[in-house]
Amino acid sequence: MAFELNLSCMSISELLEKAAENNEIIYVRSGQRRLGKTTSLIQFARENNCTILMNRIAYDYQKKNPDVRIISYTDEVALDGLTNIVCDEGVPLDIIKGLQRLGKLLTGFVLKGDHGLTSEQNTDEQGELRDGRKRSLLTKAIHENVNNIVDKELPELEKDLKSAKKKVSVIEKRIAERRELVDEAIKKFGHPIPPSPFGVLH
């Protein structure tokens, strides 16, 4: 069953609750702006412990709503492993459908008429086409860095730690041996430094 935003039937909040019951998305028209969709979506996510998926404006909304997890659909690292996701208008339909197939999408808004719009051609708030799916240099760098950490840095650090522990053990043993020598000297000579066996001849 498909849902469409129609405020004469029910409020945005009620529609979100209804659509979420069957993990359906809500289609909105291009003229349905400044109605409180995003505000209602954030409140819904807050009440239902959801992650909100947005376009490039996600960072700004996250700063304004630190108690709700809001990420960009281009952030594949943050998106990986998440469930209970709701999407705001502006997320490409192919991403939304993919999340639905995986059972990760709870509900959200999608612009009606953009059924063919893919993540390669997402629209911003002004409706201008932009390249939104290409992995950002930052995301790519994170992936490469994580692989490098797992494959190289962690094994090397663990090896260094093992070697350091061995050195510490040797040092501790030497300290213990020398303390024994000092204790014996104190017992025998009353002083940690024994007198020299070579006296000065006068």
Please enumerate in sequence order all residues whose Cβ is within 8 A of that of 73, keeping only pairs 6 or more positions apart, or say none: 53, 54, 55, 79, 87, 91, 92, 95, 119, 132
Q: Is 62 strand, coil or helix? A: helix
Place of tokens 């705001």: 88
- Distance from the first to the final alpha carbon of the chain: 114
Per-residue pLDDT of the chain (202 residues; tens, 9 = 90+): 566 666 657 888 888 998 898 888 888 887 777 788 899 999 999 999 999 999 888 888 999 999 999 999 888 778 788 888 999 988 888 888 888 888 888 898 988 765 444 454 444 443 333 444 444 555 555 555 666 666 667 778 788 888 888 888 888 888 888 888 888 878 877 766 655 555 544 4
The domain segmentation of the chain, as residue ranges, is: 3-133, 135-193
Nearest-angstrom CA–CA distance, 66 and 14: 24
